[in-house]
A and B are shown apart, each in its own frame.
Chain A
């Protein structure tokens, strides 16, 4: 079946209006942003919301801006805006890396960062990106606003810290000195979800790693934050052997499942390779050695 079940629909004109609509319809209501995750699930009847609250008119949530030492990204920012943002390119090159290989232009023109994160599909790239760069997300609900870090955000497969009746409004990324980042992905074909992907962010100071974030997509039931890689690298000077060792750790710590994209052993192997490559490239960028 590729036809959604019948459901109600309304367009929100403000965040408060959307929250009110969610409250009015209860847990069977769902927000719809770009629709590129929700609609395919509805067509397959894997999702059967009774009421859709469309937030595509909420321009107030579509922005990428610098605010002191923080970059704020509105939840309704489309993939294509992330891909083209000069601000992100300057500070977090991994966004452009990831966006070049997320889906295709049709999906990127419409799909949003908020939808991507809230979908919490383990194969989804931006969750790994945001985890690696240690972003925080802002969630608004009837009781007001709260800020949640990425490591608390993913609760389980397809489940996040965003509760029924709440909206993710913003992603916040702190700007710290010496940063470099990269996203590496292997897909079966252009436009496909990852077989595995690795997001790396490093902060270099005084010739050693001050901090490191390494997260994986399509390598477990949820986005995998490989904290042991950070522990290994922090305080060390960059080097190829270190990247190899980090790859080995990531290959060990990931929890991939066998599916039509490949068996577990290949995915682990791939995680090792991609971790190494992402760290290598992130570090080169941090050291501004990138050609």
Chain B
């Protein structure tokens, strides 16, 4: 059941929830963050990777002799060397295998072929062109829709029994028969081919690592900005047989992750192996081209979808997907969900039935399918369904908001079981949609559009309504590589009443150091500035699965809340002894236990902390100190949602799209720091504009990547972003201790369909036959749509 609550305006300096400047900003704004490339260890060697110029080629031989002659080159590692260590191949996070260095053949342009170790980073790179590789080019397949053709070249001939390019067999959700029935009984059916093209998370800091193996002690220190340090440590232990307790991973500051820094990359394995063999620290860091061409891409989903309506309401959805995984299946998602959470695609609506089929293929392209600011394929799902609902509304001749309003899950239907097996926790969708309409002045926008149409101007209004499932996840359903998706938290209140809270997820820019301090502050009344948040160092934080899938607040946030309450409970017992009363006679106000009926009589958390460590009496049988530990297993995902409205203008002559307005009303439950939430939404909306209008990783027919630098892979700037207009509703999550839901990814999930729907709406003002356009909506592609030649990008 949804209850919409007003959040109180926050005080100037909240002790707890409220708008608060981020603690981490001071160092970031001053350029004082410590990123990987800022770290220099004494005696450090440098690595560089030779990459394949071909998308598919047999390797006849590799001659490293000239490179070894270059002054300063210590070693050149190839697959042969790794074979002796059992490290030529490694598992992916999706139980596939991937070459660390190519031995038999290369399978995508940019694949790792050799690893040079040198005394200097420039020497390492100068050595690369001196390595002579004899390649024998093979036929290439880059189009997922052709990967299963009988004449397609076999990419994974390394895998026993693999006879074609099928990466994962068809995976299904929903009820096919029921869906067929819904379609048979429908009044209107609309079918579209919708592509979510390949894009790249492109964090500002590329991937890299420093491995520092100490041969004397056997200790391996790893500096590496990744999104899941504890899992990485386990992977290194399992893959390389290294003792897990002797590995320490330190993330330091991370210049963005966005899902791209979840996987373990070949460069990491090479760096670690190099340090162990050399007995010295080794640093390796990618340049931008290496990053864009070889690390985890996102999306690349070809979706064939049908949607239907009866009696004016959406009733059924069928989707058939071909996923392009590239050369290996290193997609990111919990083990039991090979298509991630794509089957949340029934969206925010009460469908009678739906059916989803996803199969995946190998192509001669870099691997990935990472959850780019996305809870495992929810972005693809939301994009598809929100495009389809719009297409259906057009076909039915009803306003796109009206059709959504008619079909929304009603507040009293929560918790709502969807046709594909999700249990949405809470929501009041119609209300959120209305707030967005009010901010936009929707009726007026439609009037303006009609007036402009008369003058030959192309103005479009696009709507999207999304529901996400974030915060993976319940132990009984979700694991990654066998590790349950639970998070630990560890809170230590020091004698002075100041505290350190250690969390298992870590920030890549989300503001954890502030948000998690505010959670402790809210629960214990300690000012946020007196709470240090430890994260990103496996030696200093409890085990947990990391930051992605908007899971930090839903999982680690709950853990921090509950561990604080544990401390508060212990504090109550101590306070009772201090106040010479019984615990049940005490009441809590923020920061203080006091005697019911005599509020003057009380003990602050500071007093209690001092007492906990002092020589004075404690409750009978109690251990000293004021610490607690917890591991949180979420009972369900949290389901944030939002209503987005986008206004675009298209130049009728040049076909340039300008996003004039963007209204985003998010409901992510209770907001801990509304300022950080706003910041997250701004960032995600900017990314959505990039994805919808300009970002594309594409390949020519030979498999050459055409977007290997920021000159060709365009990311949005402030110039493309309008002043975002944000609104909110607050529907608490019923099972989260704070009522909070995740929000980090919502804007990236919700904005592309709003923008594309707006583009199509604008085009239809002058070109009513346009019924779809695939992203990115670049001027040439929009112009092609005007000519009746809209095609998916290649």
**Chain A residues engaging chain B, CB cutoff 8 angstroms:** 1-3, 5-6, 40, 44-45, 104, 186, 188-193, 195, 260-263, 266-267, 269-270, 273-274
Contact = CB atoms under 8 A, between A and B. Distances in A.
Interface stretch (B314-322, B512-520, B776-784): B776-784
B717 A262 contact: no
A260 B654 contact: no
Contacts of A44: 289, 709
Contacts of B694: 188-189
**Which of A1, A5, A191 has most B Cβ within 10 Å?**
A1
Interface string B558-599: 000000000000000000000000000000000000000000
A269 B780 CA distance: 10
B91 interface: no
Contacts of A266: 655, 779-780, 783-784
A186 B716 CA distance: 16
Contacts of A189: 693-694, 714, 716-717, 719-720
Contact of A195 (B289, B717, B720, B779): B779
Contacts of A45: 129
Interface string B265-291: 000000000000000000000011100
A190 B712 CA distance: 13
B656 interface: yes
Given A188-B714, A189-B717, A192-B711, 15 more contacts: A1-B287, A1-B289, A6-B122, A188-B694, A188-B778, A189-B694, A189-B719, A190-B717, A191-B717, A191-B719, A260-B707, A260-B712, A262-B778, A266-B783, A267-B780
A25 B784 CA distance: 51
A161 B128 CA distance: 36
B354 interface: no
Given A6-B126, A273-B653, A188 B287 contact: no
A189 B778 CA distance: 9
Contact of B126 (A5, A188, A269): A5
Contacts of A186: 654, 656, 779
B706 interface: yes
A188 B779 contact: yes
A269 B287 CA distance: 37
Contacts of B698: 260
A29 to B, nearest CB: 20
Contact of A269 (B125, B706, B783): B783
Contacts, number: 67
B717 A2 contact: no
Contacts of A190: 717, 719-720
In this complex, the interface size class of chain B, counting residues with CB under 8 Å from chain A, is 20 to 34
Interface in B520-571: none
A2 B287 contact: yes
A192 B714 contact: yes
**Which of B707, B709, B780 has most A Cβ within 10 Å?**
B780
Nearest to B698: A260
Closest 6 CB pairs of A and B: A262-B780, A190-B719, A2-B287, A266-B780, A273-B653, A3-B125
Contacts of B128: 1
A171 B384 CA distance: 55
B291 to A, nearest CB: 10
Contacts of B126: 3, 5-6
Interface in B97-137: 122, 125-126, 128-129
Given A3-B125, A186-B656, A189-B694, A263 B720 contact: no
Interface of B: 122, 125-126, 128-129, 287-289, 653-656, 693-694, 698, 706-707, 709, 711-712, 714, 716-717, 719-720, 778-780, 783-784
Nearest to A262: B780
Contacts of B288: 2
Given A190-B720, A192-B714, A260-B698, A1 B780 contact: no
B480 to A, nearest CB: 33
22 contacts: A1-B128, A1-B287, A2-B289, A2-B709, A3-B126, A6-B122, A44-B289, A44-B709, A188-B694, A189-B714, A189-B719, A190-B717, A192-B711, A260-B698, A260-B706, A260-B712, A261-B780, A263-B784, A266-B784, A269-B783, A270-B779, A274-B654
Contacts of A262: 778-780, 783
Nearest to A263: B780
B706 to A, nearest CB: 5
A258 to B, nearest CB: 10
A104 B715 CA distance: 14
B549 to A, nearest CB: 29
Nearest to A3: B125
A262 B653 CA distance: 15
Nearest to A276: B653
**Which of A2, A5, A6, A195 has most B Cβ within 10 Å?**
A2
A212 to B, nearest CB: 21
Contacts of A274: 654
Nearest to B50: A1
**Which of A192, A195, A266 has most B Cβ within 10 Å?**
A266
Given A262-B780, A263-B780, A270-B654, A40 B720 contact: no
A57 to B, nearest CB: 26
B779 A3 contact: no
A72 B709 CA distance: 37
B776 to A, nearest CB: 9
A93 B720 CA distance: 25
Contacts of A267: 780
B292 to A, nearest CB: 11
Contacts of B653: 273
A272 B122 CA distance: 47
A266 B698 CA distance: 19
A193 B711 CA distance: 9
A266 B653 CA distance: 11
A5 to B, nearest CB: 7
Contacts of B719: 189-191
Contacts of B784: 263, 266
B789 to A, nearest CB: 9
Contacts of A193: 711
B780 A273 contact: no
A9 B780 CA distance: 42
